[in-house]
């Protein structure tokens, strides 16, 4: 690909990922209800947080949880979402300790525990960055029906195309709905507090 076609390809890839995201969102919120009943979102997983502690699906019990899948090399969507999640957690005040906020890597190859720890130091300390072996990540991605695909870059490097949905899980670890970050942090915080 030469330098004139590359921007077009990038735009096309971006448009495609947007379309996939919208489709997945629509599907997750039950837009196809009545045709096929979607199976439950979520399920067993075992991962490691940025401090080396094991986190499993059992950690979801007793607290509402917001989960976001992404990767530390993400140029914009992930850092923006993590910033917005951090703002919501800040707006939660002392109640921030009563929720789980997980950033789960879709790029276990590069996102080691150390890389997650370094990356998350820029965001709210409530946020836990979970990573694992490629098998462990494949399992959680499948359980949450996350779309994640490696996209090679011209320089030999790669990026990840991925679902940018925020999952809201209730105190029983059940998926409620996608969590809306496109509003005032105080509104999101009030919404989240209803699930405490």
Footprint on this chain of Ni ion (rule: CB under 5 A):
70, 74, 77-78
Phi and psi, residue 147, nearest 5°: -90, 125
Q: CB of residue 138 vs Ni ion: minimum separation in angstroms?
A: 18
Rounded Cα–Cα distance for residues 177 and 30 (Å): 10
CB 90, CB 185: distance < 8 Å? yes
Position closest to Ni ion via CB:
74
Give the nearest distance from C-beta 77 to Ni ion in angstroms.
Answer: 4
- Which residue has 């993590």 as its token pair? 82
Contact 150, 158 (CB under 8 A): yes
Closest distance of CB 161 from Ni ion, Å: 9
**What are the φ and ψ backbone dihedral angles of 183, each rounded to 5 degrees?**
-155, 180
Smallest distance, Å, CB 97 to Ni ion? Answer: 27
| Nearer Cβ to Ni ion (15/196) | 15
Judged by beta carbon, residue 28 or residue 104, the one nearer Ni ion is 104
User: Closer CB to Ni ion, residue 136 or residue 161?
Assistant: 161
């Amino acid at each position: 690909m030469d330098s004139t076609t590359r921007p077009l390809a990038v735009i096309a890839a971006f448009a495609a990922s947007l379309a996939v995201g919208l489709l997945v969102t629509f599907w997750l919120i039950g837009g196809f209800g009545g045709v096929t009943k979607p199976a439950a979102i979520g399920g067993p997983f075992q991962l490691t947080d940025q401090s080396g502690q094991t986190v499993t699906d059992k950690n979801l019990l007793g607290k509402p949880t917001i989960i976001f899948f992404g990767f530390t090399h993400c140029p914009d969507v992930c850092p923006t979402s993590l910033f917005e999640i951090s703002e919501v957690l800040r707006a939660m005040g002392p109640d921030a300790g009563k929720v789980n906020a997980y950033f789960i890597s879709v790029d276990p190859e590069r996102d080691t525990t150390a890389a997650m720890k370094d990356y998350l130091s820029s965001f709210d300390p409530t946020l836990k960055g979970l990573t694992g072996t490629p098998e462990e990540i494949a399992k959680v991605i499948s359980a949450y029906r996350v779309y994640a695909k490696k996209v090679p870059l011209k320089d030999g490097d790669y990026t990840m195309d991925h679902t940018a949905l925020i999952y809201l899980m209730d105190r029983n670890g059940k998926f409620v709905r996608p969590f809306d970050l496109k509003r005032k942090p105080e509104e999101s915080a009030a919404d989240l507090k209803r699930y405490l």
